[in-house]
Structure 1
Amino acid sequence: MANVNFLGATFRLKYVTGHNDQNEPLFTTQTYRNLNGSHTAEELVAVASGIASLSSHPLDSIVKQETTDLS
């Protein structure tokens, strides 16, 4: 049976910062590293909403990326 060991996680907020000449959205991201693996999706959405409320740009998406070691 395989073991799964949590190594780390990142949390990325993607903002719409404007539009180009073809009216396609332009994006920027802000990444937060070294997340604890015990955070729930609800907690991360609440934190992202709080951080995004401080920005003048609308929030487009929230991404959590986990790194694990399989052995």
Structure 2
Amino acid sequence: MAKTQFLGATLRLKYLAGHNEKNEPKFAIKTYRHLNDTHTTTALVAVAKAIASLSSQPLDSIMKQETTELS
């Protein structure tokens, strides 16, 4: 049976930073590292929205990236 071990996670907030000359959206991404495995999805979304409310740029998306070791 395969085993997994959580190594870490990163929270990424993607903001709409404007548009280019072709009117295509440009994005800015802010990364928050060193999350542990006890953070729930609900808590992460609440924190991300609170952080985004401090920005003048509109929030486009919230991403969580996990690193897991498989053995």
Q: Percent identity?
A: 68
Aligned Cα root-mean-square deviation (Å): 0.6
Match of residue 65 from structure 1: 65
Alignment deviations for residues 7-32 of structure 1 (CA, whole Å, 9 cap, x no partner) = 00000000001111111111010000
Counterpart Cα distance in 1 of 2:65 and 2:38 = 13
Amino acid at match of 1:55: S
TM-score, with structure 2 as normaliser? 0.96
After TM superposition, where is structure 1 displaced by more than 6 Å over at least 4 residues in a row?
A: none
Counterpart Cα distance in 2 of 1:44 and 1:23 = 32
Match of residue 56 from structure 2: 56
Counterpart Cα distance in 2 of 1:70 and 1:21 = 45
TM-score, with structure 1 as normaliser? 0.96
Q: Which runs of 5+ in 1 are unaligned?
A: none
Q: Which runs of 5+ in 2 are unaligned?
A: none
Count of residues in correspondence between the two structures:
71
Match of residue 23 from structure 2: 23
Instruction: Give how far 1:39 is off.
Output: 1.0
Counterpart Cα distance in 2 of 1:19 and 1:28 = 11
Counterpart Cα distance in 2 of 1:20 and 1:69 = 40
